[in-house]
Amino acid sequence: METITLRGDVDPVAALELRTRLSQATRELRPVVEVDLTRVTSIHASGVAALISADRHAQRRRGELRLRPPLAARARRELALASWFHVVGLDVV
C-alpha cells in the first residue's frame, strides 16, 4: 500500500501535482492507495476531481483508494460539497 500525505491548502496547482502522484500510484494491478487528508485545511474542486478520477482508475484496476478525512471543518465541508455536486452530475467550476 502506498500512502500520499497532503498538508495545507490543496489549490489548483497542488491538485495538478496530486493528480500526477495518484496516476503513478494507481498504475499497477490491484493498487491500494491511501490519501491522508488529515492536515488539509482547504481543498479546491480540482483536488476533489483528482481524487474521484483516481478512485475510478483504481477500481478499473481492481484496486481501491482510501481516504483519511481532513480534520479541518472547512476542508471537510468543501470535500463533502464538491463530492455531492459530482454525485448529482453537476460540474464544479
Handedness of CA 54, 56, 59, 61 (dihedral sign): negative
Where do the domains of the chain lie? 2-87
Q: How confident is the model at residue 82 (pLDDT cuts 50, 70, 90)?
A: confident
Encode pLDDT of 33-61 as tens digits: 999 999 999 999 899 889 989 999 999 99
Encode pLDDT of 1-21 as tens digits: 999 999 999 999 999 999 999
Three-state SS string across 9-67, please?
EECHHHHHHHHHHHHHHCCCCCCEEEEEEEEEEEECHHHHHHHHHHHHHHHHCCCEEEE
Mean model confidence pLDDT for the chain: 88
Side-chain-facing half-sphere of 10: CA atoms under 13 Å = 32
Domain 2-87: which CATH class?
alpha beta
Q: Is the pLDDT of residue 26 over 60?
A: yes
Q: What is the pTM of this model?
A: 0.84
